[in-house]
């Protein structure tokens, strides 16, 4: 079957058909997905009824896996293999998470615009999110094109940010929602990491703004000034003209490039409706910036 991509917005995101993620991919198929990703930054592959094993195998075509389990989850409490980010509202016992469940608190962070694992020294490249059980009211995933957002900046701002380095930590994103309870060892593990704010895509060569809710500072700037500046950029970068809102159909496999996009989930009634999405993630080749010597 021929591999085809139909654009979903005038700017980015495409619907790709002709790939069967359950099968072993040929080199040509992997190259077609990579080329589609470099161009569209978000690809929706409908009708992919895959198992966890098939999702892992498909993901490995695109590079080394990023550990999905987040740093506040205890391994023995995981519902899925630790290579997965469990983006569901169900616990290991198969029941919906209680309102005050700690994992639910952490996953509310996905409501803020972010780039996956930007709090890691080697951040995420692709995220592959599989819709196993989807909801019909709310729960859209929205994506914003950080290349288009970069292109639309005025020249002064582009010059100002060219060499800017930001500090990212999950502590910063969760603190925006008032979540501040950590064990001392968690706090140590969540130490801020540094990333360039302007990145050049290794395949497309396009520049983008590496924004994320995990940003809490800019190296060399007073914190309030940094946060006000990042807010302005966030507002610019998430204008409707740069956004694609994905409404889920069961068995959609949505792949996005964290180097070139941000995303967020919209509210849904997570106390009464099951939503079971499972994410696998690949890593970038290396850090985007040198880390603090300390
Ligand atoms: C993710 C994420 C959004 C969603 O999987 O990384 O942010 O729609 N998910 O659940
Ligand atoms: Mn995410």
CATH for 185? 3.60.130.10
Would residue 192 count as lying in a domain? yes
Encode 25-41: b = buried (16+ Cβ within 10 Å), e = exposed: beeebeebbbebbbebb
Would residue 101 count as lying in a domain? yes
How would residue 232 be classed by pLDDT, with cut points 50, 70 and 90?
A: very high
Ligand closest to the CA atom of residue 128: 1
Domain range spanning residue 164? 4-283
More confident residue, 102 or 176: 176
Residues 235, 227: contact at Cβ < 8 Å?
Answer: no
- pLDDT score, position 102: 86
Atom of ligand 1 nearest to the CA of 275: 10
The answer to whether residue 250 scores a pLDDT higher than 80 is yes
Lowest mean pLDDT among 99-108, 197-206, 272-281: 99-108
Would residue 11 count as lying in a domain? yes
Q: Whole-angstrom Cα distance, residue 251 to residue 48?
A: 5
Q: What is the model's pTM?
A: 0.97
Q: Whole-angstrom Cα distance, residue 189 to residue 4?
A: 43
Give the count of domains, the chain.
1
Would residue 291 count as lying in a domain? no
Average pLDDT over residues 262-291: 97
Lowest mean pLDDT among 1-10, 70-79, 143-152, 183-192: 70-79
- pLDDT score, position 32: 98
Per-residue DSSP letter, 96: B
Q: Whole-angstrom Cα distance, residue 285 to residue 110?
A: 24
From ligand 1's centre to the CA of 111, what distance in Å? 8
- Closest to 120 in 3D by CA, of 29, 39, 28, 189: 189
From ligand 2's centre to the CA of 115, what distance in Å? 6
Atom of ligand 1 nearest to the CA of 263: 7
From ligand 1's centre to the CA of 78, what distance in Å? 17
The answer to whether residue 107 scores a pLDDT higher than 70 is yes
- The pLDDT tens digits for 168-226 are 999 999 999 998 888 899 899 999 999 999 999 999 999 999 999 999 999 999 999 99
Beta partners for 145? Answer: 261
Would residue 96 count as lying in a domain? yes
């Amino acid at each position: 079957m021929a591999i085809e991509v139909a654009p979903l917005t005038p700017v980015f995101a495409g619907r790709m058909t002709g790939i069967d993620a359950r099968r072993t991919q040929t080199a040509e198929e992997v190259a077609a997905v990579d080329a589609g990703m470099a161009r569209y930054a978000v690809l929706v592959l409908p009708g992919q009824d895959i198992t966890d094993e098939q999702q892992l195998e498909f993901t490995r075509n695109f590079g080394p896996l990023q550990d999905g389990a987040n740093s506040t989850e205890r391994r023995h409490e995981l519902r899925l293999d630790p290579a997965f980010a469990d983006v569901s509202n169900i616990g290991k016992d198969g029941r919906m998470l209680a309102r005050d469940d700690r994992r639910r608190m952490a996953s509310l962070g996905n409501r803020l615009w972010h780039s996956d694992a930007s709090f890691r020294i080697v951040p995420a490249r692709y995220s592959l999110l599989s819709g196993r059980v989807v909801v019909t009211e709310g729960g859209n995933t929205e994506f914003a094109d950080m290349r288009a957002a970069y292109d639309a900046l005025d020249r002064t701002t582009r010059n100002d940010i060219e060499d800017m380095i930001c500090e990212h930590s999950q502590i910063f994103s969760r603190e925006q929602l008032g979540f501040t309870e950590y064990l001392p060892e968690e706090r140590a593990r969540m130490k801020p990491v540094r990333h360039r704010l302007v990145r050049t895509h290794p395949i497309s060569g396009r520049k983008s703004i590496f924004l994320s809710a995990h940003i809490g500072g800019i190296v060399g700037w007073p914190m309030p000034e940094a946060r006000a500046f990042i807010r302005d950029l966030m507002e610019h970068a998430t204008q409707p003209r740069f956004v694609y809102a994905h409404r889920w159909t069961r068995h959609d496999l949505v792949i996005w490039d964290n180097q070139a996009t941000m995303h967020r989930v919209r509210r849904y009634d997570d106390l009464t409706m099951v939503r079971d999405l499972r994410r696998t993630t690949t890593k970038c080749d290396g850090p985007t910036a040198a880390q603090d010597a300390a």
